[in-house]
Structure 1
C-alpha cells in the first residue's frame, strides 16, 4: 500500500460518512489512521463541494488519539503551536515542523535499512533521534534498544559520545526555543 504515489481518495458524503474510492467501501477515522501509518498518503474531499477536508480530518485523528491518552505532543508544544497562530512566527513554524519530521523520517529509514553498530557516527544519529523523540513526547518516547556494540570498552566510549551529543542537541533545542520565544 505504501508504494503507491497517488494519494488514496476518500470522499465525504453529506451524511459525513467517509467512502474509500479504491475499495468501494466506507471507512472510519481509525481506518484512515491505519492507511497513513502504513505509509499511504490520503486526500479527503467533500463529495458535493469538492473542498479538500484532509487537514481537518488529520487534526481530528490527532485530537482523538490525544484525548484517549496517547499523548505524543507535550503540553508545551501544543501551547507553542497555539501561540504560533497568533504571531508573525506562523510562517516559520510549518517549515520548521516539516524539516524536523523529514529529518526524523530520514533517520528512521536509515535505521530500518539494517545499519550495524560499527558504522562511524551512528551513535550521533541515534542520539539526535532520541533527543527529537524525547522533545516531541515530553521524555516519554524511545526509539527502542540501543545498537549492538562489539565490546564493553566500545560501549562505554559510545555511551559517552552519545551523552555528549545529547547534551549538544539539548542545548541547540533550548537555543531554538529561546529564539522562538523572542519572536513572539
Structure 2
C-alpha cells in the first residue's frame, strides 16, 4: 500500500516571501498552483505566528485566475458565496459545495475509468494519467478549502449536528445534482 505523501511545507517570511522547505528556495503563487495541479498538497505557514495560511493563498490563486479571464466560477456562484459569508443564518452552502464537488469527482472518476476500461483512444493518449491525477488534485484542493466540509463529516464547525431542516435540504440538493449528472451522462 502506498503511503500518503506529506504536504509540501511552504513558510511565509515577514517579507511575505514564500519559502519551499523541500528545495530550500523561494517560490511564487504560480509555483504553488503548479504543485497543486501536479497533485501535491501544500501547507503554507506563517513563520512568525505559526498560522496556517493555506486557504488564504489558495483563494488568492483562484482570484488571480478569475481576474485574468480564466473564469471557472459564474457570477451567480460568486454572489451566493458572498451571501453565505455575510449572512448570520446557518448556511448550507459549504455542505452543498462539498456534496457538489464530491459528485463531480465521482462522475469524473467513473468517466475516466470507463474510458480506460473500454480501451478508448483517449485512455492511451500520452498524459492521460497526468490529466486524471490533475483532476483529482483539483477536486481535493477545492474540497479541503471549504469551511466545515471535511469528507464524511456530518458535523458543522462547532462540532454540533446540523439541523434536521438543513439535512433535508442537503438531501434534496444531492438528489437534484444526481438527476443533473444522469442527464449529462445521457448527453455523452
TM surpasses 0.5? yes
Q: Which has the larger radius of gyration?
A: 1
Determine if contact 1:4/1:40 at 8 Å carries over to the other structure.
no
* 1:58 lines up with 2:58 in the alignment: yes
Residue 46 of structure 2 is matched in structure 1 by 46
Equivalences for residues 57-136 of structure 1 within 5 A: 57-88=57-88, 90-113=90-113, 114-116=116-118
Instruction: Decide whether aligned partners of structure 1 residues 169 and 107 sit closer, same or farther in structure 2, where only a CA change above 3 A counts.
Output: closer
Q: CA deviation at 1:88?
A: 4.6
Query: Which secondary structure does the structure 2 equivalent of 1:43 belong to?
Result: strand
Name the SS for the 1:9 alignment partner: strand
Provide the alpha-carbon RMSD of the alignment.
2.6
Q: Which has the higher contact order (CA 8 A, sep 6+)?
A: 2
Structure 1 residue 18 and structure 2 residue 29: aligned?
no
Partners of 1:105 and 1:25 in 2: CA distance: 33
What is the distance in 2 between the residues matched to 1:97 and 1:65? 20
Question: How far has the Cα of 1:4 moved from its partner?
Answer: 4.5
5+ residue gaps, structure 2, are 120-176, 184-188
Figure out how many residues of one structure are paired with residues of the other and give that number: 121
> How far off its partner does 1:89 sit?
5.3
- For residues 18-59 of structure 1, the C-alpha deviation after alignment (integer angstroms, 9 at most, x for no partner) is 111111111110111111111111110001110011111011
For residues 122-145 of structure 1, the C-alpha deviation after alignment (integer angstroms, 9 at most, x for no partner) is xxxxxxxxxxxxxxxxxxxxxxxx
Task: Find the residue that maps to 2:62 and give its secondary structure.
Answer: helix
TM-score (norm 1): 0.59
In 2: Cα distance, 1:61 partner to 1:108 partner: 23
Q: Segments of 4+ in structure 1 off by > 6 A?
A: none
Offset, 1:95: 1.6
Counterparts of 2:109 and 2:16 in 1: how far apart (Å)?
A: 36
CA displacement at 1:12 relative to structure 2: 0.3
Separation in 1, partners of 2:45, 2:80: 29
- Distance in 1, matches of 2:21 and 2:118, equals 42
